[in-house]
Amino acid sequence: MIIALAGKGWIAVRTARLLAALIAVQRLDATIEVVRNRDDTGRDTWLPSLASLAAQRGWRVHDTPGEAGLGPGDIFLSLQYDRIVDCAALGGAAAYNLHFANLPRYRGSLTSALPIRHGETQAGVTLHVLAQEVDAGPVIASRTFELPPFYTAYDLYRAYHAYGFDLLRDNVQALLGGAVQATPQDDAAATTFYRSAIDFSDVELDDFCRDAEQVRDWCRSLIFPPVQYPTYRGRRIGSCSAVDWETGSDGGSEPGTVVYADPEQVVVRCGKGEVWLELLPA
Per-residue model confidence (pLDDT) at position 252: 61
Quick one: average pLDDT of 179-192?
Answer: 96
Residue 95 has pLDDT above 90, yes or no: yes
pTM over 0.85: yes
Residue 282 has pLDDT above 90, yes or no: no
Per-residue model confidence (pLDDT) at position 253: 82
Q: What is the pLDDT confidence band of residue 250, given thresholds at 50, 70 and 90? A: low
Quick one: average pLDDT of 3-25?
Answer: 97
Per-residue model confidence (pLDDT) at position 244: 83
Structural domain boundaries in the chain: 2-195, 212-279
Residue 248 has pLDDT above 70, yes or no: no
Residue 255 has pLDDT above 90, yes or no: yes
Residue 67 has pLDDT above 80, yes or no: yes
**The CATH classification of domain 2-195, taken from the options 1.10.10.60, 3.30.1490.20, 3.40.50.12230, 2.60.40.420:** 3.40.50.12230
The percentage of the chain sitting over the pLDDT mark of 90, rounded to a whole number, equals: 95
Calpha distance 72→94 (Å, rounded): 7
